[in-house]
Structure 1
Amino acid sequence: MSPGPARAALTEFVLKVHSRCDLACDHCYVYEHADQSWRRRPARMTPEVLRAAAGRIAEHAAAHHLPRVSVILHGGEPLLLGPERLRRVLADLRAAVAPVTDLRIGMQTNGVLLSERFCDLLAEYDVAVGVSLDGDRAANDRHRRFRNGASSHDQVLRALALLRRPAYRRLWSGLLCTVDVRNDPLAVYESLLAEGPPRIDFLLPHATWDSPPPRPGGGAAYADWLRAVYDRWRADGRPVPVRLFDSLRSTAGGGPSGTEWLGLDPVDLAVIETDGEWEQADSLKTTYDGAPATGMTVFSHSADDVAGSPELARRRTGRAGLSDECRRCPVVAQCGGGLFAHRYGDGHFDRPSVYCVDLKELIVHVNENPPASTPAPLAADPADDLIDRLAASTGDRSAVRRLVEAQTAIVRALLGAVAAGLPGPGPGADGWAALTDLDRHAPESVARVTAHPYVRAWAVECLAGAGTGARYGADYLAAIAAAVARDAGIPLRLAVPVRAGRLHLPTVGTVLLPEAGDGAAEVHVGPASLRVTAGAVTVRVDAAGDEPRWQPTRALVADDVTVLLEDGDPHRDCHRLPAAGRLDDATAAHWATTFGAAWTIVRDETPGHAEELRAGLRALVPLRRSGAGVSEASTARQAFGGVAATETDAGSLAVLLVHEFQHSKMNALLDLYDLVDGTRPAGITVGWRPDPRPPEAVLQGIYAHAAVADIWRVRADRQVDGAQAVYRRYRDWTAEAIGALERADALTPVGSRLLRQVAHAVAGWPS
C-alpha cells in the first residue's frame, strides 16, 4: 500500500461558505470581473451542501490515501457567516474528514469582522487565518473600501492586533497584498513588515490580454515595483518569508514553486461554490463569464470526476501545456507561463502571461542577486514562539506539550489513512469501528494508547508496506482498540492478529500463543478483566499476573514520572540499533533501579529537561549491546517519545535520556516545519563524526550536543572529576558545527532561527 496520492489527486479544496462581502474592493475578481455567476448563487452554503462537500473530500482522501488535505474557507467574506454558523461548518468538516486524513483548515478574510469570539472559535478548530491588506492607509484605501467609500484600514489593523496576541498568534498564516504600481513599493513593504506577519504574499492584480493591467509609465512597471521590494527585503536580510521571492529561489534550484502563480507544479486545487457547484480556480473569473465552471456539483460528481476533467487535465501537463513562446523561454522552469488565467486573450489560453515581460525581468534580477547567506531575525511568526522555547538550553515543558499535541493529530491522521485502505470487512474494519466508538466515549484512553511511540511506527510501516507494520497490517487496528478498551475499562470483544505466536496489545502486554502461529485470537475485555482465546487455548489475565503465557508491559516509575519499559512491542525494533528481547525479572528490576537514579540526576542537574521528559517521554526500549562495551542509545524518526538505550550506569543513562530526547523533539519539529533547504545539499564535517554529514544531521547533532554540553557544564561547575574536559569537547564540537552550518546556508528561515537561538545560548557559556 502506498501512502502517497495518485497523480490526479486533489489536495486543496476552497469552500465558498459565504458568497457576499462587506467590502466593495474594485479589484475583486469575484464581483468586478468577467464572470458574474455570484449573482445567481445563494449567499450562504447550506448545511446540506456542506455535508455533501465534506463527504466528497473525505471520499477522495480515502480513495487516494492522502496523508493530508487542506480546506480553505473563502468567499465573499467567510466571517459573514457569524460565529454559530461558522462553528457548524468547522464541526461538520472535522467530523467528516478528520477520521480519514490530516485535515488542515484555513481561512482567507478581509479581517473587518474578526473578534475575540471568532478567534476563540478558530483556535478551537486550529484554523489558519490569512488576512488581506494592501499596505499603509493610502495604499489600502485605493481599493479596499466599504460600499459607502469609507476606509477599512483601521478595522484590519485591529484584526491583526488580535492575531498577534499570544493566544491567537499561532493561527495567523500571513498577509496577502495585491500590487498596485501607483503605490510606493517601499512604503507598502515597510507597512506590511511593521505588522509582524509570519509571511507576506504579493499578488499581481488579475488581468488578461483582453483586459490588460494598467502600466503607468509603460515598460515592466510590475517588475520594477517588485524589484524594489526584493532589493530592500534582501538588504534587510530576509526578515520575513515572502512567498513570491521564496518560490523563485526554490524553482531556481529545481525545487517546487508552492504556488499556482509560478513554476510547473501540477494543479491540485478545486473550488466548491455555495450552491455545491464544482469550479476551477477563482482566478479564472477574470477571463470570461462561466470560465471556472465544470458543469459538476458535489451531489452529482465526485472529486475524482473533477480531477479527471479536461479543464484540470490541461493544467497538469506542465511545460507541454504552455504556448510555443513559453516553451522556448530560458526561464520557463521558474515562470511556468505565469498564472493560467493571465494567459487568456482572444478566446484562448495559448499565450504567455500578460505579465510576461515583468516576470522575466524579475526572475533574471532575483537569479543575478541572490539573498545574502545569513538572514536577519525573523519577524513574528506562529513558529517563532515554539522555536524560541525549544531552543532554550534550560528546556521548556510547554513547548514539548505543543509537540505532543501535534503528534496526536499526526497519529490520528495516520490511523485514518490505514483505515481508509482497508480492503473490506475483517478484524481491521472491526477494530477501526471500535476505535471510532471508543473515541466518543473514552477519548483520554484513545489519546494515551495512540501516544505510544510504536503505534505511529507501525502505522507508517503499514502504509509503506514495509517491516513489522506490513507484517501486522491494518488488522493491528483491532489490537489498538482492545488496548484502549482495556485502559478505559469498557467491555469489548474483537478478533486480534497473532504473529509468530504472539498477540500484542500496545501499552498493555503480550500473550504467547504458539498454537495460533500467524492467525488471530479473540480478545474479550471486561470492566476489570482480559481474556484471550485461540482455538482450545484460553488465557485469562488478572491483577496477580501469574499467567505464564502473559507478558505484561512493565513500567519504570520514579518519584514523579512513569515510563514504559518497552521490551515486547513488535514495532519497537525500528531504531538504528537492535532491540533486546524480553527481559527477565532481575534485569527489569535493575533497569528500574537505574532509571530511578538517573531520573534523580536529570532532575537535579537539568530540571528544565526533566520537565520536558515528563511531558513527552513515553517508552524506554532496552537495546542489545554491540560488543564495543560503550553505552549506546537511539531514537527513531517515526517514534516520538521513544528512547532506546543499552544497559548502563545511572549517570550515563541521565545524559542519554536528555541527548536522545533532543533528537525526538527535533524529529517532531520536522513534522511541523521545513528546517533545511532541500535545494542546497551539502556535506558538512563535524567533530563527532569522521564522515561529512548532510545539513539535517548536523542540525540534529548541534541540538543534541548542546544539551549534553550543558549537562557537563553543570557537572564541571560542581567539580566532578573529568567533567571540565568533557564539557569543553562537547561545547567546541557544537560551536564549530554551528559555524559550519551557518556558512553552508542550507537552512530555511525557521531552521536558521533555531540555529541562531542555540548559537546564542552556546556563546554565553564559559570557555
Structure 2
Amino acid sequence: MSRPPAPFSQFVLKVHSRCDLSCDHCYVYEHADTSWRGKPRTVSERVLAATADRIAEHALAHRLTAVHVVLHGGEPLLAGPAVLRRAAELLRAALPPGCALDLRIHTNGVQLSERFCDLFAELDIKVGISLDGDRAANDRHRRYADGRSSHAKVLAAVELLRRPAYRHLYAGLLCTMDVENDPVAVYDALVELAPPRIDFLLPHATWDDPPKRPSGAGPAPYADWLLAIHRRWTAQGRPVPVRIFDSVHRTLRGRSSLTESLGLDPADLVVVETDGTLEQADSLKTAYDGAPETGFDVFAHTLDEVAGHPGMMERQSGLAGLSADCRSCPVVRSCGGGLYAHRYRSGRGFDNPSVFCGDLMKLITTIRDRVAPATTVPAQPGPSEGALTEAQLAELATGHGSAATVRALASAQLGLTRRMLAALSAAAPEPWSLLAELDTTAPDALDAALGHPYVRAWAVRCLDRDPGADLGGFAELAAAAALRARREFELPVPVRGGAVHLPTLGRVEVGGAGEAVLRGTPDGFTVRDVTVGWDDPGGGAWQPVRRVALPGWTLALEDTDPQRDSHQWPVTDRLTDGELLAWTGSLREAWELLGRDLPEHAAGLRAGLSTVTPLRPGPAGRDVSAAARQAFGAVGIARPGTAPILALLLAHEFNHVKLGAVLDFHDLYDPADDRLFHAPWRPDPRPLEGLLQGTYAHLAVTEFWATRVHAYAGLDSPAATHARTQHTTWHTHTATAIETLAESGSLTPLGTRFTEIMRSTIDHPGARGSADERLRRGATPTSENVIRA
C-alpha cells in the first residue's frame, strides 16, 4: 500500500502583517517577496472564524488527535489582546471532540507585558521569543527603524516569562545565526535565560542571493559556528534542548527530525495570511516574489485542496523530491536537502542542493564522528531470558493473562531496565556506584525504584539521545532507591522547575534551578533548606505520590514525576484534594466491576499495573487514555464520567502494555514489512505493529461490551441498545483486523499461531484449550530483543 499524503497538523495564523522592529535579516519584509504590502494589517473576525472552521473540518476528516497553531506576523502582539483572545476562542470552539489544540505565539517580545501574559495563562498560549544572543549580537540585526536597540526590552520579556506565574508559558528562544557574532557568547547568553528550548536558524538565503561568507572564515563558516556551540553544549551535558543538534542526533539514528530544515519527514504545515489566503511555508518568501502563494483561501477552499498543490506535494515526497545530487549524498537522510527555500536558483527552481550544502555536510559528519556509537545494552537476553512459555503465550493471546504470567512479563521488563542503566552507567559514575551498592545491600528497595514505569521510559530517551531526556534522572533514581532503603547518603540531584523529583516517592519544592545536594537519613532527607521526615513530612513543600488502596490492589496516581509525560496526551498538574477524592471513588467502583465482570483481566491488572497517570480531559464527549510503549506498568487516563468506562479503559490500555512486553522478547511479525494496513477503527492506515497492537487491545473492548450485553439480557432500553450496538461494532472491527493480520503474509509462525488464538477467542470465547494446542504445535519462542538504542 502506498503512503497517503500527510494531513496538515501545523498551522501558522498571521494575526498582524506589520512589525514594530526593522530587522534587516527578516524574510517577510527584507527579501524577495513583497506581498505583505497588500495584506490587511490585522486579521478580521471573518478570517479567524473561517480559519477555525477549516482547521476543524480538516481535523475531523483526518481524525487528528491534536493540531498545532502558531499565532504569527509581522509582530502578532500588535494585533492586541482582543484579537488574540478571539482567535483562541474560535479555534477551541470549532475543533471536534477528541482533537486537542496546542496554541503558541511567536513574538519579538518588545510589546510583551503582564496583561498579555495573564491572557496567555488564561488561554493556555505558549510563548516563543526571538533573540539573537547578547546585546552586541542581537543589535547587529534586531533594531527599531530609528536604530535603537531592542535588547533590553526583549530581556525584560524573557524575565517576565521566567516568573513562577508565567514559567509554564515559556516555550523557548529562537536565534538567527550570524557568523560574525561570537558563537559561544551567543550560546552562553541564551542558556543564561534558562529556556526550555533553543532554536538556531540559518539565515535565509538562496543560490541567487547567497549567505555572507566572511573572508578567511573557511569554506563552511556556518558549520564551524554551530560546531563551536555543539562542543560547549556537549561539554556542559546538554543543559537545554537545541533543536538543530537534537535533530541531527535523531536522524543519524533513523528517527524523525524536529525541524523542517533537516530530515526527510513530509511537510505538514500551512500558513494563513491576514486576508485568509492559504500559503506554503513563510521561508519561501526569500526565494522570489509570490513563491509561497497557492491560489487558495479559507473561504473557498478546503485544506485537502491545499495539500494537492504541487509545491505542497513536492515537500511531502521525501527522497524522491530532492535533486539528483542530494539523492546520492551519504548524509541525505539527516540533511534532507536542507530547508526547501534554501534550494532555490533561477532557471532551476528548487531542484538543487541547499545553498548551505557544504555547511550541512560538515555539521552532520562532524557531529556523527564526535558522538560515540549509540551505547547498546551489554547483557543481551539469553535463549530463555524473558521468553514466555508456550502456555503463557497462549493465555496472553486470548487477551487475558494470569497473575503469574503478568509477573513474568514484569520480571523481564525489570531485567531490560537494569541493562539499560548499565549501558548509561559510565556517564553517571556516582549515582551508579550508589545503585550498585544497593543492589547488594537492599535489592528490594532498588527493585521497587527500578520497577517504576517511567524509569525505563527515561532510560530509552537517554539511549536514543532524545532532547527530552538528560542524565540527571540517574541521580534522582539513585536517591529514591537509597531513601527507600533508609540509607544515609549525600548525592547531588538536579532541580527541575523549582523542585527535586524522586521517582516512586514524590517531589519537594525547593525553588530555583541547577543542582542541590540531597542528604538522606533513616528518618527522611534534607535538600537545600527543606527537611522532610517520613513520620512528619510537615509543610507544603513535600508532595508525595498518592496511592489508592483497593481490595487486593494498590495503585499510584502519578502526578509528580516529570518523566510521566510519555503518553500521547498531555498530563494533568498535581491533583487537588477534590480531584484525588473523585479518582479514588471512580477507581473503587471500576475495580469492583472488573472483579465481577472481567475477572481474567482483573488478575493481570492487579499483578502488573502499578501506576495510573491522570491525563488532561479530552474535548466534550471524548474519553482519553493511552499506554506508552516503554513504560510497562503504567497507563494514562483522563478520568471518565462513569466507572464502567474507567474499567474499560484500564483493561483496554493494559492490553497494549502486555503486548508491548511480549514483543520485546518474541517475534510475532517481520519488522522489515513497512507497508500500511487498514484498521477499521481509524481513518489512517497503520503499520503492522500498530494494527497488531490495536487488534489485541480491542479484544478487551469486545469482551467488555459482551458483558454489558449479558447484563442487559431481556431488557429493552437505550442503555441495552447502546451496549448491543457497541458489541457488534467492536466485534466486527476486531474480527476484520484479525483477518487482515492473518492475510498480511508477514506474521512469523509464532505470530500466526498467536493470531489464530485471537480469532478463536473472538469467534468462540469459551474455546481456549484448542487454541493452546495450536500454539504448542511447533511453537519455539524467540528471544530477539527489540530495544533499539
Amino acid at match of 2:573: R
Partner secondary structure for residue 409 of structure 1: coil
For 2:240 and 2:697, locate their aligned partners in 1 and report how far apart those are by CA, in whole Å: 43
Question: 1:515 maps to what in 2?
Answer: 714
Query: Is the 1:160–1:195 Cα contact (8 Å) retained in structure 2?
Result: yes
**CA gap 1:385/1:458 in 2 versus in 1, 3 angstroms:** farther
**CA gap 1:459/1:291 in 2 versus in 1, 3 angstroms:** farther
For 1:107 and 1:48, locate their aligned partners in 2 and report how far apart those are by CA, in whole Å: 20
Indicate the larger mover: 221-230 or 90-99: 90-99
Deviation, 1:392, is 3.1
Question: 1:127 maps to what in 2?
Answer: 125
Determine if the alignment matches structure 1 residue 392 to structure 2 residue 598.
no
Question: 1:77 maps to what in 2?
Answer: 75
Question: 2:164 maps to what in 1?
Answer: 166
Question: 2:370 maps to what in 1?
Answer: 369
Question: 2:136 maps to what in 1?
Answer: 138
User: Mapping of 1:232-271 within 5 angstroms?
Assistant: 232-271=232-271
For 1:170 and 1:294, locate their aligned partners in 2 and report how far apart those are by CA, in whole Å: 36
Question: 1:357 maps to what in 2?
Answer: 358
**CA gap 1:415/1:248 in 2 versus in 1, 3 angstroms:** same
Query: Is the 2:306–2:312 Cα contact (8 Å) retained in structure 1?
Result: yes
Deviation, 1:383, is 7.0
For 2:15 and 2:652, locate their aligned partners in 1 and report how far apart those are by CA, in whole Å: 34
Determine if the alignment matches structure 1 residue 307 to structure 2 residue 307.
yes
Question: 1:114 maps to what in 2?
Answer: 112
Deviation, 1:99, is 3.0
Percent of residue pairs bearing the same amino acid type: 51
User: Mapping of 1:185-264 within 5 angstroms?
Assistant: 185-217=183-215, 218=217, 219-264=219-264
- Could you give the per-residue CA deviations for residues 485-537 of structure 1, whole angstroms, max 9, x where no partner exists? xxxxxxxxxxxx9944736xxxxxxx932125xxx7225xxxxxxxx8999xx
Deviation, 1:307, is 1.2
For 2:496 and 2:41, locate their aligned partners in 1 and report how far apart those are by CA, in whole Å: 36
Question: 2:60 maps to what in 1?
Answer: 62
Query: Is the 2:98–2:618 Cα contact (8 Å) retained in structure 1?
Result: no
**CA gap 1:17/1:281 in 2 versus in 1, 3 angstroms:** same
Amino acid at match of 2:104: G
Question: 1:658 maps to what in 2?
Answer: none
Query: Is the 1:169–1:381 Cα contact (8 Å) retained in structure 2?
Result: no
Query: Is the 1:70–1:103 Cα contact (8 Å) retained in structure 2?
Result: yes
Question: 1:92 maps to what in 2?
Answer: 90
For 2:643 and 2:707, locate their aligned partners in 1 and report how far apart those are by CA, in whole Å: 24
Count matched residues. Answer: 476
Deviation, 1:85, is 2.0
For 1:133 and 1:303, locate their aligned partners in 2 and report how far apart those are by CA, in whole Å: 33
Deviation, 1:373, is 4.7
For 1:345 and 1:265, locate their aligned partners in 2 and report how far apart those are by CA, in whole Å: 23
For 2:310 and 2:56, locate their aligned partners in 1 and report how far apart those are by CA, in whole Å: 23
For 1:381 and 1:35, locate their aligned partners in 2 and report how far apart those are by CA, in whole Å: 47
Deviation, 1:259, is 1.1
Question: 2:277 maps to what in 1?
Answer: 277
For 1:152 and 1:459, locate their aligned partners in 2 and report how far apart those are by CA, in whole Å: 54
Amino acid at match of 2:717: A
**CA gap 1:384/1:252 in 2 versus in 1, 3 angstroms:** farther
Q: Structure 1: which 5+ runs fail to align? A: 419-444, 474-496, 504-510, 524-531, 536-569, 572-690, 696-743, 747-767
Query: Is the 2:639–2:646 Cα contact (8 Å) retained in structure 1?
Result: no
Deviation, 1:351, is 0.7
User: Mapping of 1:526-545 within 5 angstroms?
Assistant: none
Amino acid at match of 1:415: R
Amino acid at match of 1:86: L
Deviation, 1:117, is 1.7
**CA gap 1:160/1:221 in 2 versus in 1, 3 angstroms:** same
Amino acid at match of 2:47: V
For 1:331 and 1:692, locate their aligned partners in 2 and report how far apart those are by CA, in whole Å: 29
Partner secondary structure for residue 392 of structure 1: strand
For 1:338 and 1:96, locate their aligned partners in 2 and report how far apart those are by CA, in whole Å: 35
Query: Is the 2:32–2:286 Cα contact (8 Å) retained in structure 1?
Result: yes
Question: 1:25 maps to what in 2?
Answer: 23
Deviation, 1:456, is 4.6
Q: Structure 2: which 5+ runs fail to align? A: 373-425, 429-469, 474-492, 509-541, 546-558, 562-571, 580-612, 626-637, 657-680, 683-690, 724-729, 732-782
**CA gap 1:469/1:95 in 2 versus in 1, 3 angstroms:** farther
**CA gap 1:252/1:467 in 2 versus in 1, 3 angstroms:** closer
For 2:270 and 2:495, locate their aligned partners in 1 and report how far apart those are by CA, in whole Å: 27
For 1:533 and 1:99, locate their aligned partners in 2 and report how far apart those are by CA, in whole Å: 23
Question: 1:402 maps to what in 2?
Answer: 573
Amino acid at match of 1:353: S
Amino acid at match of 2:708: R
Deviation, 1:290, is 0.5
Partner secondary structure for residue 357 of structure 1: helix
Deviation, 1:446, is 9.2
Indicate the larger mover: 392-401 or 328-337: 392-401
**CA gap 1:287/1:12 in 2 versus in 1, 3 angstroms:** same
Question: 1:103 maps to what in 2?
Answer: 101
Query: Is the 1:170–1:382 Cα contact (8 Å) retained in structure 2?
Result: no
Partner secondary structure for residue 170 of structure 1: helix
Deviation, 1:66, is 1.2
Question: 1:16 maps to what in 2?
Answer: 14
- Could you give the per-residue CA deviations for residues 325-378 of structure 1, whole angstroms, max 9, x where no partner exists? 111111111111100000001241111100001111111110110179565769
Deviation, 1:167, is 1.7
- Could you give the per-residue CA deviations for residues 105-159 of structure 1, whole angstroms, max 9, x where no partner exists? 1111111111112112111222221110000001001111111211111111111
- Could you give the per-residue CA deviations for residues 436-470 of structure 1, whole angstroms, max 9, x where no partner exists? xxxxxxxxx99754997446558979668646868
**CA gap 1:451/1:55 in 2 versus in 1, 3 angstroms:** farther
- Could you give the per-residue CA deviations for residues 62-100 of structure 1, whole angstroms, max 9, x where no partner exists? 111112111111111111122222111111111112635
Deviation, 1:411, is 3.7
- Could you give the per-residue CA deviations for residues 578-624 of structure 1, whole angstroms, max 9, x where no partner exists? xxxxxxxxxxxxxxxxxxxxxxxxxxxxxxxxxxxxxxxxxxxxxxx
- Could you give the per-residue CA deviations for residues 541-562 of structure 1, whole angstroms, max 9, x where no partner exists? xxxxxxxxxxxxxxxxxxxxxx
Partner secondary structure for residue 12 of structure 2: strand
TM-score normalized with structure 1 length: 0.56
For 1:253 and 1:498, locate their aligned partners in 2 and report how far apart those are by CA, in whole Å: 41
Query: Is the 1:411–1:450 Cα contact (8 Å) retained in structure 2?
Result: no
TM-score normalized with structure 2 length: 0.55
Query: Is the 1:205–1:213 Cα contact (8 Å) retained in structure 2?
Result: yes
**CA gap 1:258/1:132 in 2 versus in 1, 3 angstroms:** same
Amino acid at match of 2:226: L
Partner secondary structure for residue 35 of structure 1: coil
- 2:619 paired residue among 400, 406, 412: 412
For 1:389 and 1:369, locate their aligned partners in 2 and report how far apart those are by CA, in whole Å: 33
Query: Is the 2:12–2:270 Cα contact (8 Å) retained in structure 1?
Result: yes
User: Mapping of 1:487-526 within 5 angstroms?
Assistant: 499-500=705-706, 502=708, 512-515=711-714, 521-522=717-718
For 1:181 and 1:413, locate their aligned partners in 2 and report how far apart those are by CA, in whole Å: 50
Aligned alpha-carbon RMSD (Å)? 3.9
Amino acid at match of 1:502: R
Query: Is the 2:617–2:624 Cα contact (8 Å) retained in structure 1?
Result: no
